[in-house]
Chain A
Amino acid sequence: DQQVKQNSPSLSVQEGRISILNCDYTNSMFDYFLWYKKYPAEGPTFLISISSIKDKNEDGRFTVFLNKSAKHLSLHIVPSQPGDSAVYFCAASAPGGATNKLIFGTGTLLAVQP
């Protein structure tokens, strides 16, 4: 049972345009969400996060939106650059415990065309 879902395995966008990556979750107890970026043959790197008390968090070209009622979050990249081409994973954690264990989605491969 996939608690965090990324229903688009891949996305292709033109350089300079907006990339929108989507993520849905089923567990209403999740209260912290993260996006990771992964290049081939490298480990994932943290990109941006959002707490459930917010509905938007922005960092440069990257903005994450959270819609709690719909259990949906999205990552917007604008403008998209060829170097953004990578696999993007969303992840969620639930409160409780000394360590935030993350549940990851299956990833979306973003290709930014020059």
Chain B
Amino acid sequence: IAGITQAPTSQILAAGRRMTLRCTQDMRHNAMYWYRQDLGLGLRLIHYSNTAGTTGKGEVPDGYSVSRANTDDFPLTLASAVPSQTSVYFCATSRGNLNNEQFFGPGTRLTVL
């Protein structure tokens, strides 16, 4: 593993189903983030975690939940997917200090039908 990995790469999901997007990092960064990217809206923060054991809500948290059991993993769960959650999802990390850039994973393309 080098950097940030996300799985799956893409997924088509029926509405109402539960889905967990996985994110794993090997950079030992304290902070992790989940964004969604939608055309015309840029990247919007869903949830974040300052350090293992803590999480916080971002700009668009409704319909999503996260957990941070350890430093490396930060899964994003859609409890009951809806079509408006069709998007490209990016996981990101940073050292967690102020004014640090964030590093992004390759993304997961999710389609909810």
Contacts and interface: CB of A to CB of B under 8 A. Distances in A.
A99 B96 contact: yes
A6 B41 CA distance: 10
Interface string A41-61: 111111001010000000000
A76 to B, nearest CB: 19
A43 B90 contact: yes
A99 B50 contact: yes
A86 interface: no
B50 A98 contact: yes
Interface in B1-25: 4
Contacts of A101: 33, 45, 48, 58
Interface of B: 4, 31, 33, 35, 40-45, 48, 50-51, 56, 58-59, 90, 92, 94, 96, 98-107
